[in-house]
Structure 1
């Protein structure tokens, strides 16, 4: 239970590649982020990543018409059937090839995938349990090149497929007699999208060169007739028809034969018009399109970042706007036609735009390059991240959205941290500045610089928030500034190598600095800035951190060791050998095995848990290790990613890439767009000028939440959050056969509230605990809380802290919290260290409600002041228009009562 951390959410990455989808109600966007899928709830302002992971990056998704099921396909052709209602995987399947698109029929009975130059139609999984959820119905041939897009008619009778061979193919979903397939030309480039008109076989086809063809069909959907069956079915049908024909009259038979001859003609298409988007020559490539059949709205995106809104079939231009200078990879329109979602893979950007009011509903973008560092706010509500793109972003842990981005840095950010108050963020950068940002006014209010230009590799702020220090990468010095004045207080010299880490003691004014010169130095901030101690190591120091109580120091070295020191006596208290626990993978271009490659890898980031008993460690690997400090053993190893689209994921070479000349990745140097380019020697993050770039998996920073219930890691995939998800976990304690839910409710009816609460907490079922707690009358809370044993007080505080985030009975739970803390505070003081995460979790929930209520009160106060000012102005105006003695007296009385009312309201 204590170490049952599970993947909770993915922040910092909102879109990678693939197609966007709106849910049926139109309030949420489903976006593929690497090998995972995130649902952005636009109505409730929340993001939630589904607890599933593909083997490669997600390439396409298909959503069922009722919105309950989704088919997610990755680059390797592996597919997952996912239930969006219960957020679980129902079925695994492999399409044996790369799939470009997948689409459900409007009736939900079938779905079509485009694979290579063919289209395959499957029976969609129903609500009943099936042995095989995906049953292949038909395979459609026709295009000579790769198929690109699919669209269905409203009655699910036909579907259309576009191809890179500049042709569009209409296929019948059933065995129609007058429509088997129909090929349409008229384009000079690959087909990007094709759409049927509402309740019609008329369709539109759009090509990459910006051409739109309007096709008209001479047959309505009702005119499609089933093909006559053959074999024993035909004989049976013929007998039935002969019996019916004997009963018909000759005149009716004659009319029927004439009508049948008229209907025997095949379905034909006629091109009505051809329009061009790039008449001015501004846009060279059309990359994506979406069409809403009810509103007749066509949205097209281009490689230049522009998008157009047209009304069809007249092709009237409604809007022409630009998002960025990167191509628009995917477009989706919600069910009502009001919101349009755009995805840009080059920037990792996701936008939801309301085109009628011309306003953004959602505008989110992750770091353009990889994240480097992160820090939790003291109350655990916010996470700040810094990236190689020079941006500092602040994320809300509850909603999962970034609400402010600071772009003052001109180079990569190397370190970020919060002050003790939680309202100031300090960041260091390679541009030679350390900046302080105010979260009240969202501005950069302090900029700290050194006398001569230098690159800062790390930053730290003391517990009071008055002293800011940063380590230099090139001059091997530590610079210390005053937060109040912004002046440089001192320059600490003594290290003979780049500074790799800084950390202040949480309880004292002692700064620990780690360096590549194989030493860790302790500096006393109040004793003339002198080096108090020098801890000598056997290898280069890569990271340093203090335990939350300041009584222990942990250092990660280049030899894959974690060494623990007593900062008071400067004595080593223990060490952990983590070489075999890191488990690095083999890169695609490595000529040595992963086992030999692991000898040069080490932990680069450390973080103590909230209670100080465990320590998290991560580095150039997809694994994060959790160690028990006192026992010095590996407690658990967390795998951050299973995405094979990233480099250094596999332990052994893939046999399919081995040829008689060696590794295919090493041979194919001068390949085209799909070849693997050899990066420059010594380049760790990839040569950005290369055609093909495969990012390497690594963990750059780790932090535990102050509440202790979750921890976050910045990796190549984004900001991953692991939390103690105990929603589906049944963990009873001190349980016997007499404790049952029925017995708890019976005791509640008898009015024995203390006993009922104890029994509910023994069962540890959240709904039962909430029922027992809320059954207590508010007047008896003080008596019941005083009679609770000490063990149950701690568990009740944890329950209250977790209930604050989504509860409606705010005052009721606040009364419970107040009574528990006032009556049991003295007894819990000796265990303050163990209770610290629970208290901080409690503070986080109360603080969030405080901010919400404070904003509401301020808003009401300003409204009341405005209403009083307006009433005064009207009273003065009436006095000037009709001044009379009696009226003046009455106005004075009214003003006096208004002033008294205003004073009472403000008080």
Structure 2
């Protein structure tokens, strides 16, 4: 389908709120981002946001021990059971109340959920299909305030629950005779985390006032005794009566069982406080906000509200590190399975860090825009994305990896527009601080700054197709400034508009600049003819956005009345219009006094973008919908809902009556006064808030839209972040021509018989990557050419796609390069006929090989340099050695000759 764009990735936000989780192999990190989760592959340097979403922001994530299942719980307690392999939702469940934490048992058979004052233990979903995936096993009471944290013993026999009432409760996951529950005090503030020692019931508890208690248990894990059923003695008595035991014998039996029960009561599990430590002895730190413990290495990591974190070795509490991340509080900490990497999440800055503590280096350091994103631009090759935000930062993102690799912070105010030059190596950004800056992507520096004679706030930006002329429109002086990029000199000031300049756009084929303004006009300026006004197009409402078609023959204008008009700018004739106000479907904000239907009358499109072929146009604005229109037919082709997150404002069309009280809407009631997560109601008219901490509901909107140069994807800067929608949908399991006899065991059998072509075809029919990789890597190198020549044409394309993806993560470069070479040499002529269909695959393959070529060539050059250096040093040392040997040889010759002459003289004398 031409318009079958699907959600591909979310950039610009790396962490919002909730707990971080490492996968069992320790190579990937799962981070909650709004109402979605992002998986950061730290080994292959990639990030992927799963195409599933909850109804509200995710507050906690529980990961199964095998890493296949995850439980996502949102702010209202609605849980999604997610399969991380197929990236699909398996089951949905409502816990009825907000959930504080979720934790699977180490054996994966059960999981515990803490909500309100209770802990609920459920049977974990199994591998078989079940009618209800969540089956409640036991409800544990005991805490007098909200529960905060969970930890399991290694054998899954017991678990501990921390609470805000300053106590920690140890519960038995099964019926134990000597442990039903045990309450631990000793703290003066709410419990942040609790941890069991490895293969032991010993416990560590950490409270918010930065205190650590070490609890020792007098019983080992093997000392837990199963609890006998209550009715067993009565049944045995009845059985004894049937067998004819006397009353005296029965009395002895009963007395024996009573004595056993008394002995069991005397041997109950007991805890004692072995030690108590304090982190803030100097009083320099704030409250302790997060903690994590690695049982194998006995490493305790604690994070504080001041942005400082400590590394201690337990149980002796010896300090290893004490470092500072930022001035914001650390919201979540996680340690991977090997204990080498530590992940930190800061919700105040939307920051995510992965720290390798042994080498004291960053594995991952990512941070989104502190405030909302405003603008974006694709590079000419589509590999990079530039974004500008209200925080005054310009960030460059890699579309394939999803990571930001450079941030420019030279601007001192909000960024209003960013764009790439035609070469792709220069980024230009306009800001409200009165400057337009040019950044070099080779040296990562600001090499040119453009300013106006009088201070002006620049609200729009455009660069011509040659990359020589840059123009910016101001919103206070109503003028358009034109500079030369080469010299940095101001060429001209274009005056004539009577309102703020809202949008600028250069014609891609001609040197014509279109400027749209709030004075209800669009002016066309001829850049070659003395900067004069070529045409003036009058509209019925304020102009918000202008865009030229890729061929330069058409101009699209979005106005405040919700219309998109199309113009033949050469003849100044309107060729068509689209009424888009009904397609926006604006929702009602919680604090609005009017209905959503009335509010939608004042909404319009604020950003436009033509598709690569110029046949359709993408439009977005103050709404959760993005619309694609067919220009010639002037009809709506498809509408995309960019978010279903009800934690954002203006998402629902009608007010929820459940949130209405006799005093008005609950949104107006500030319930969290003085709390860290309190509700901060914005001032009237304020639409932009703190996007990272989300103290109040920000309004859903689309600030900027751009198609990629290839047309395969488009990106949108929204309240949620930078959303990317793509046509490339990669399914994990997508079998074709599948038959009953095609199974992994049969593939292995055929492979064992050395029928390689048949094994490859069967593996591709199953379409499991690991199986395909195993089959290909079993093939001997000498047989590759024969196998490539006998493969059916249907599997050539699929094999090329697999090779392109394998280059990114495999170490067998020469082996896969040999496969690629033989395929292209033998089937190159046949592939030319399907070049249009195979172009993305070939492009992907070329990028993978080019990236490896750059990496390996640098390494080879470095090795060659080292070898030359070593040879030069060895030659110098050899020359010195030969010189020394020659000198020693001459001396020896002189000594021998002198000795010979002395002997001759002595003989003559004799």
Using the size of structure 1 for normalisation, the TM-score is 0.85
Query: Which protein has the larger Cα radius of gyration, Structure 1 or Structure 2?
Result: 2
Kindly state the Cα deviation for residue 658 of structure 1 after the two structures are TM-superposed.
Answer: 1.5
- Cα distance change on mapping 1:96 and 1:732 into 2, 3 Å: closer
**Bigger mean CA deviation after superposition, 353-362 or 256-265:** 256-265
Kindly state the Cα deviation for residue 567 of structure 1 after the two structures are TM-superposed.
Answer: 2.3
Kindly state the Cα deviation for residue 709 of structure 1 after the two structures are TM-superposed.
Answer: 1.1
Kindly state the Cα deviation for residue 838 of structure 1 after the two structures are TM-superposed.
Answer: 8.2
Counterpart-to-counterpart distance in 2, 1:280 and 1:192: 21
1:65 aligns with 2:65: yes
2:373 is aligned to 371
- Cα distance change on mapping 1:777 and 1:62 into 2, 3 Å: closer
Counterpart-to-counterpart distance in 2, 1:800 and 1:172: 54
1:746 is aligned to none
1:109 is aligned to 109
1:720 aligns with 2:723: yes
Give the conservation status (yes or no) of the 8 Å contact 2:604–2:621: yes
Q: How is 1:804-843 mapped onto 2 (pairs within 5 angstroms)?
A: 804=804, 806=806, 809=816
Kindly state the Cα deviation for residue 83 of structure 1 after the two structures are TM-superposed.
Answer: 1.1
1:643 is aligned to 645
Deviations 1:666-718 (A, max 9, x none): 46599664765443233221489999422111111111111111111111111
Residue number among 289, 292, 295 corresponding to 1:290 in the alignment: 292
> Match of 1:139, SS?
strand
Q: How is 1:147-186 mapped onto 2 (pairs within 5 angstroms)?
A: 147-186=147-186
**Bigger mean CA deviation after superposition, 684-693 or 536-545:** 684-693
1:122 aligns with 2:155: no
Give the conservation status (yes or no) of the 8 Å contact 1:228–1:234: no
> Match of 2:868, SS?
helix
Give the conservation status (yes or no) of the 8 Å contact 2:507–2:548: yes
Q: Give me the CA root mean square deviation.
A: 4.0
Give the conservation status (yes or no) of the 8 Å contact 2:733–2:768: no
Kindly state the Cα deviation for residue 470 of structure 1 after the two structures are TM-superposed.
Answer: 1.0
Give the conservation status (yes or no) of the 8 Å contact 1:73–1:79: yes
Deviations 1:534-578 (A, max 9, x none): 111111111111111212111111111111112222211111100
Residue number among 584, 589, 592 corresponding to 1:582 in the alignment: 584
Counterpart-to-counterpart distance in 1, 2:21 and 2:577: 50
> Match of 1:282, SS?
coil
Counterpart-to-counterpart distance in 2, 1:877 and 1:481: 60
Counterpart-to-counterpart distance in 1, 2:505 and 2:788: 44
Counterpart-to-counterpart distance in 2, 1:682 and 1:722: 31
1:703 aligns with 2:682: no
Residue number among 659, 662, 665 corresponding to 1:660 in the alignment: 662
Specify every segment of 5 or more residues in structure 2 that has no aligned partner in the other structure, as ranges: 743-760, 808-812, 888-910
- Cα distance change on mapping 1:413 and 1:160 into 2, 3 Å: same
1:132 is aligned to 132
Kindly state the Cα deviation for residue 764 of structure 1 after the two structures are TM-superposed.
Answer: 15
Give the conservation status (yes or no) of the 8 Å contact 1:78–1:95: yes
Kindly state the Cα deviation for residue 636 of structure 1 after the two structures are TM-superposed.
Answer: 0.7
Kindly state the Cα deviation for residue 459 of structure 1 after the two structures are TM-superposed.
Answer: 1.1
Counterpart-to-counterpart distance in 2, 1:488 and 1:313: 68
Counterpart-to-counterpart distance in 1, 2:113 and 2:343: 23
1:86 aligns with 2:89: no
> Match of 1:569, SS?
coil
1:518 is aligned to 520
Counterpart-to-counterpart distance in 1, 2:253 and 2:859: 78
- Cα distance change on mapping 1:630 and 1:663 into 2, 3 Å: same
1:144 aligns with 2:147: no
Residue number among 601, 604, 627 corresponding to 2:603 in the alignment: 601
Counterpart-to-counterpart distance in 1, 2:175 and 2:240: 21
Deviations 1:745-789 (A, max 9, x none): xxxxxxxxxxxxxx99xx9999999999x999989999x99xx9x
1:358 is aligned to 360
Q: How is 1:126-275 mapped onto 2 (pairs within 5 angstroms)?
A: 126-231=126-231, 235=235, 262-265=263-266, 266-275=268-277
- Cα distance change on mapping 1:463 and 1:557 into 2, 3 Å: same
2:617 is aligned to 615
1:281 is aligned to 283
Deviations 1:425-444 (A, max 9, x none): 11111111111111111111
Kindly state the Cα deviation for residue 292 of structure 1 after the two structures are TM-superposed.
Answer: 1.0
Deviations 1:179-214 (A, max 9, x none): 211111111111111111111111111110011111
- Cα distance change on mapping 1:622 and 1:848 into 2, 3 Å: same
Give the conservation status (yes or no) of the 8 Å contact 1:438–1:444: yes
Deviations 1:415-472 (A, max 9, x none): 1111111111111111111111111111111111111111111111111111111111
Counterpart-to-counterpart distance in 2, 1:797 and 1:513: 47
Deviations 1:635-684 (A, max 9, x none): 11111111111111111001022123433334659966476544323322
Residue number among 529, 532, 543 corresponding to 2:531 in the alignment: 529
1:751 is aligned to none
Counterpart-to-counterpart distance in 2, 1:572 and 1:58: 48
Give the conservation status (yes or no) of the 8 Å contact 2:196–2:204: yes
Kindly state the Cα deviation for residue 96 of structure 1 after the two structures are TM-superposed.
Answer: 0.7
Counterpart-to-counterpart distance in 2, 1:20 and 1:498: 45
Residue number among 373, 389, 392 corresponding to 1:390 in the alignment: 392
> Match of 1:264, SS?
helix
Counterpart-to-counterpart distance in 1, 2:296 and 2:133: 32
Q: How is 1:460-499 mapped onto 2 (pairs within 5 angstroms)?
A: 460-499=462-501
Kindly state the Cα deviation for residue 264 of structure 1 after the two structures are TM-superposed.
Answer: 3.2
- Cα distance change on mapping 1:551 and 1:649 into 2, 3 Å: same
1:743 is aligned to none
Kindly state the Cα deviation for residue 592 of structure 1 after the two structures are TM-superposed.
Answer: 0.6
Counterpart-to-counterpart distance in 2, 1:797 and 1:177: 64
Aligned residue pairs total 846
- Cα distance change on mapping 1:479 and 1:112 into 2, 3 Å: same
